[in-house]
Structure 1
Amino acid sequence: MLAPTVGAEAAEAVAGEEAWSVHMQNTNVLQGHTKIRSPYYGTNSLSQAPQMRQTVSLDLLLGLRLWSGAEAHLDGMMWEGFGMSNALGMAGFPNGEAFRKGTASPNENISRAFIRQSIGFGSEMEDSPSSSLFLKGRQHVSRLTFTLGRFGAKDIFDSNAYANDARTQFMNWSLMANGAWDYPADSLGFTTGGAAELYLHDWVLRYGFFQVPTVSNGISLDPHIWKAWAQVVELERKHKIGSHPGAVRFLVYANRANMGSFQQTLNNPLRPADITDSRNYRIKYGICLNADQEIATGVGIFTRLGWSDGRSEPWSFTDVDSSASFGISAKGTAWDRPNDTLAIACIVNSISKVHAAFLRQGGTGILVGDGRLSYGAEKIIETYYDFAVRGWLHVAFDYQFAVNPAYNRDRGPVHIFGARLHWEF
């Protein structure tokens, strides 16, 4: 559940440089699943009966150039609706627009409010295109960029050309971000912090320091920033194979929060297992690999691989200790629809042995917990076709098939069908 980072140009200053911008986006998702085999279910289970749910989001994004190299951005967001089973029942949840804090009536939030300052060095310049979070202008190829305020860690880290934004690309949580990165965010997908990025031609080094929620999947952020924090480092290498662009990104992270320990919880004879009894400030860490590559004009492949230590409860994102995904995306040039997209991807999510033992003893996580468990890796296939009605209006049809939802071989499989309407300007 991430807000998008795309938009349309609003106003330009002299010489093609934007002094300010206004952007809007709206995304409507209708998604449902078939009846699933379910000999039992728990508090965090996907409904065994067929179900259909709708989500709606609307963003108004404002940008303002403050001084040379500095921009301020504000994102006012409205959302409404619920994910299937209240966004529970699968670690790789099928709808990235299903905020974990669902609402039956429209709710509002300032999702982003930040300042970005770039300091250039060297004489080589490049164009900076207009988007909802960037003002159009010129910038140094070699530069140091600082971002401070409230925004999404995913705005800066773990980007991917073909699997990054649930409003325009794949919808599954495990395809819009690396499932094994417990990336810092409140239940709406945003947090407060700062990031520094060093750009040296084809290399980019990024570092971020962020707040984490007070409780798992919480909306409020822990104010004890020296005890509770998330740090992330990412190294990106951009390249070309022939004329086809690509990139490889290596990410490491460490989070410290008032997290529960799976083993300490299991050592307690209380059943069902209650992770809150073992909560203490402890560190969780992991590594992630992310790559995308165009292989022909308009056709690209991508992959994400991720691992975390799997000893502590998930705190911000989802219940995944290791994840692997791979996919291919193609523009519709071959069938005279160059602005359409056809894509397919597969995901394999898994958890550590002690994490599985915790779920087997009735434990629950952010999204999963059937009361019992016959463990199996969660396997998902997603495919979608995005139809460009106009340059600013898109309609997409999505299908997902999941085996062992929530890592449980006793439940499922499940067929998931969805439709998405998205416009922006």
Structure 2
Amino acid sequence: MSFYFSRVPWVAALSLLAGTAYGQGAVTPPSSATPRKPPAGASAQEPVHVDNGQPNDYHGWSLHFQQTIIRQWHANFSAPYSDSLSLQPRENAKTSLTTTLYLGRRLWKNATAILNPEVSGGNGLSSASGLGGALNGETFRVGSPEPVLYLARLYLQQRFALGPEEVDDDDDLNQVGGSRPVRYLSITAGKICLADYFDQNSYSHDPRTQFMNWTLMSAGAWDYAANTRGYTVGGVVEYIVPGFAVRASSALLPTYANGPALDYNYSKAHGETVEITRTYHMRGHQGTVRVLGFHNVAAMGSYAQTLVSPYVEGRPNIISVRGPSHGKTGFAINVEQELSSELGAFGRLSYNDGKNETWAFTEVDQSLSLGLVSTGARWQRATDRLGLAAVVNGISPGHRNYLAAGGYGFMLGDGALNYAPEFITELYYSIDIPKYHAAITPDYQLAINPGYNHDRKGPIHVVALRVHVEF
């Protein structure tokens, strides 16, 4: 590992050189407060027509690349006790790396195939444990300190036009440029990431370019279907018209909590998600509201049942009470609002019933986040981004009692618990370097009551430096 990460700066340098050699195709943030466009099909906003009246010719192919390196460290803090899943009071800085190739091909009219091979490696602080709002949103893709190649996405999307109007899409990540219907029904199937389609937010969704905290990149209580790296196999149906969208999906869950392998026995383990998106305008500024509901079925253990079952080595053992057809149900409300051409605000509220163990995303049963994102136009840096957000996370009474009795989740377990909500703030400044298709981002997070434990409250000061290359 030391051999590998001593060479991380060289990896970044080579990526920067590659971006320079490419010469064109950089993904540069627009001049509004929106950092970057969401993936194809992710927005219900009205399309922008091409001014020249001629369709863009991309020859039916799309090829893009990204690499993100995050180096993160936290200051020492005092804790009366710690366990194997605690945020450690003292540790060295940790580094994560992801590299993704985005290949897209238009097969026939309104049909696209997408392939994403990905490489990841490194570590998160305390192996990404100890907080519900984990500190580095890239570490859920990291399963090994050494770099590993795997298939992230492989899927087919077919759109069915619901009217004659068409617009031209730009070539982008997992989006082949060219014409598409303005109103359409879409079916996507294959290996996907549900967060590409649901719970989108222009200001807070991508840890590679925006906020890094897990409960700022997605609704914390949405335990969305995914394996350890954040991907699943399933299908998404979308109904899209200007200003309005409805999406629904059904996808596989892992064989065990936070497991790398998906359970292909669909009757035993599956997750369903539905979301309605509405775009509006208020005093000339656009806003979007998304309302999401989900229901998962898997072999989840019940917190209440675990506490009345025999303990193992003095601890409750949730694995011993896992059984078929246990469920988790929840919702999320997601709002974004442009306040001016240079400033935007966002917020999320999410909840799940918290009766059974967390299975896929993170150990959060309630979450509320608010934030602001500004461009750097006021100081002549229009493509830079400055973001500030705060999030409060909580867990259900059953979840609290389980952790207080010494139980382990897949991210939390201090051996005891003096419950208090987890509070996290994050501040970042993204310095855009268009010449090299890159951005360098200093980031600061303040965490209080990590893992919902007031005995280990901190405050914990976390700093990071992120290098992101994309072309």
TM-score (norm 2): 0.86
Alignment correspondent of 2:407: 363
Aligned residue among 319, 324, 328 for 1:276: 319
Per-residue CA distance 1:312-345 (angstroms, 9 max, x = gap): 0000000000000000000001110000000100
The amino acid that maps onto 1:284 is K
Per-residue CA distance 1:103-150 (angstroms, 9 max, x = gap): 222101110000111111113323322211111112222100111000
Alignment correspondent of 1:224: 265
Does the 8 Å contact 2:120/2:141 carry over to 1? no
- Whole-Å separation in 2 of the counterparts to 1:335 and 1:9: 26
The amino acid that maps onto 2:210 is Q
Q: Note the 1:283-322 alignment, pairs <5 A.
A: 283-322=327-366
Farther off after superposition, 138-147 or 326-335: 138-147
Higher helix share: 2
- Whole-Å separation in 2 of the counterparts to 1:23 and 1:125: 24
- Whole-Å separation in 1 of the counterparts to 2:142 and 2:56: 40
- Whole-Å separation in 2 of the counterparts to 1:35 and 1:50: 8
Aligned residue among 418, 442, 449 for 1:397: 442
CA pair 56-325 structure 1, distance change in 2 beyond 3 A? same
Q: Does 1:386 align with 2:427?
A: no
Per-residue CA distance 1:137-190 (angstroms, 9 max, x = gap): 122221001110001000101000100100000000001100000011100010
Alignment correspondent of 2:175: 134
Alignment correspondent of 1:374: 418
Higher strand share: 1
Aligned residue among 320, 335, 350 for 2:394: 350
Shift of 1:242: 3.1
The amino acid that maps onto 1:279 is R
Secondary structure at 2:195 match in 1: helix
Aligned residue among 159, 163, 168 for 2:204: 163
The amino acid that maps onto 2:432 is A
Alignment correspondent of 1:3: none
Q: Note the 1:72-91 alignment, pairs <5 A.
A: 72-91=113-132
- Whole-Å separation in 2 of the counterparts to 1:15 and 1:123: 15
Per-residue CA distance 1:342-385 (angstroms, 9 max, x = gap): 01000000001111000001111121110100000000000100
Shift of 1:21: 1.3
Alignment correspondent of 1:407: 452
Alignment correspondent of 1:213: 254
- Whole-Å separation in 2 of the counterparts to 1:120 and 1:148: 18
Does the 8 Å contact 2:55/2:179 carry over to 1? no
Alignment correspondent of 1:53: 94
Aligned residue among 338, 341, 361 for 2:385: 341
Shift of 1:101: 4.4
Q: Does 1:327 align with 2:371?
A: yes
Aligned residue among 239, 258, 262 for 2:280: 239
- Whole-Å separation in 1 of the counterparts to 2:235 and 2:303: 31
Alignment correspondent of 1:29: 70
Secondary structure at 1:174 match in 2: helix
Secondary structure at 1:385 match in 2: strand
Q: Does 1:250 align with 2:294?
A: no
- Whole-Å separation in 2 of the counterparts to 1:76 and 1:269: 44
Does the 8 Å contact 1:146/1:197 carry over to 2? yes
The amino acid that maps onto 2:268 is K
Q: Runs of 5+ in structure 2 lacking a partner?
A: 1-23, 27-53
Alignment correspondent of 2:18: none
Shift of 1:390: 1.9
- Whole-Å separation in 2 of the counterparts to 1:266 and 1:187: 27
User: How many aligned positions are there?
Assistant: 415
CA RMSD of aligned residues (A): 1.3
Q: Note the 1:3-14 alignment, pairs <5 A.
A: 9=25
Shift of 1:100: 6.0
- Whole-Å separation in 2 of the counterparts to 1:300 and 1:261: 41
Aligned residue among 265, 281, 284 for 2:306: 265
Does the 8 Å contact 1:384/1:398 carry over to 2? yes
- Whole-Å separation in 2 of the counterparts to 1:100 and 1:120: 35
Secondary structure at 1:65 match in 2: strand
Alignment correspondent of 2:463: 417
Aligned residue among 152, 168, 191 for 2:193: 152
Does the 8 Å contact 2:61/2:106 carry over to 1? yes
Does the 8 Å contact 1:320/1:351 carry over to 2? yes
Q: Runs of 5+ in structure 1 lacking a partner?
A: 1-7
Shift of 1:9: 4.5
Does the 8 Å contact 1:121/1:143 carry over to 2? yes
Secondary structure at 2:451 match in 1: helix
Q: Does 1:16 align with 2:62?
A: no
Secondary structure at 2:455 match in 1: coil
Shift of 1:37: 1.4
Farther off after superposition, 241-250 or 331-340: 241-250
Does the 8 Å contact 1:34/1:51 carry over to 2? no
- Whole-Å separation in 1 of the counterparts to 2:350 and 2:107: 38
- Whole-Å separation in 2 of the counterparts to 1:299 and 1:51: 36
Secondary structure at 1:415 match in 2: strand
Does the 8 Å contact 1:83/1:102 carry over to 2? no
